[in-house]
Chain A
């Protein structure tokens, strides 16, 4: 009898220590609902503009002629161009690559890898005998922007299948997000949860919710459109942590976790930011 109670206690202890991804997501929404009781959480897909009214007005005006528009056109052109073997990107993706951004990153049960959209684009190129594109900006970001554009209005729908490797990848991304690093000892959480909506020098910090819905992004400070992993690298550098390579396992797992946390939120990429 005694051992039965001990077993029950241990089971409950383990179960409570490892929340499911869905429990994590709901707890996160509750966290922000308590921090910002008067805000519609879905507004957070607009990043800092959900908090800063003045900046929002400028941004809304800028959206009349958005700076990422050229990237969408370039991306559409590149997307529809056939490879030397006569095939195209449309042959590599479900639904011909249209309206599918919300399903990425996804876990590939065959390889055990996290497949981001950019990873899948380059994989498509390699499978068709084309050289992969640079990860951070340029043509790859433009193709990603076009694919994101065709997915606007859909809801983020990242899936964590019943596979221990997928859960492990999610947990690794989660641990990364909450771990302090760099000489300044900042975790992603410190800025985008604890300090979301606050000013860091002249910038208003965006919230973690909705952070993965709008990539790639044209950032004024970059002067071009760039991928989420470009931003990861930049964030790391800002806290003086040596960045990983774009599309490294660490960053793909981070994107997997971050995207799952935005599940159910509207896709609104590509976007423009300061």
Chain B
């Protein structure tokens, strides 16, 4: 019984340690995500007026990275890219419907 319990505790701890090391982002991952995001934002900006939120999110990501919280930093960077994609989606939709507001 004791042995079984020890084995179970060991298994749980091993799983936690393994998962944590697999999930936690590091600086390299953040830098890669940031480089991708900057490129994505630059591409989007060629086509559309971005949201101000994308830059705010990148600033927050930089703050999180500076404090060593790379999980949050990567999350914020990805959110910034999502906001750029949403700005693009709005622009695409508006190309089809903007004239509806023009008085005839």
Contact = CB atoms under 8 A, between A and B. Distances in A.
Contact of B52 (A30, A174, A183, A189): A183
B98 A175 contact: yes
A29 to B, nearest CB: 9
A92 interface: no
Contact of A180 (B50, B53, B55, B90): B90
Contacts of A236: 49
A185 B90 contact: yes
Interface of A: 19, 24, 27-28, 30-31, 174-175, 178-183, 185, 187, 189, 193-194, 236-237, 240-242, 244
Interface of B: 45, 49-55, 83, 86-87, 90-91, 94, 98-99, 101-104
Among A179, A194, A244, the most chain B Cβ lie within 10 Å of the Cβ of: A179
B22 to A, nearest CB: 34
Contacts, number: 59
B102 A240 contact: no
13 contacts: A19-B104, A27-B104, A30-B103, A174-B102, A178-B102, A179-B94, A180-B94, A180-B98, A181-B90, A182-B51, A183-B53, A183-B86, A240-B53
Contact of A237 (B52, B99, B102, B104): B52
A60 to B, nearest CB: 31
Nearest to A250: B49
B103 A182 contact: no
Nearest to B50: A242
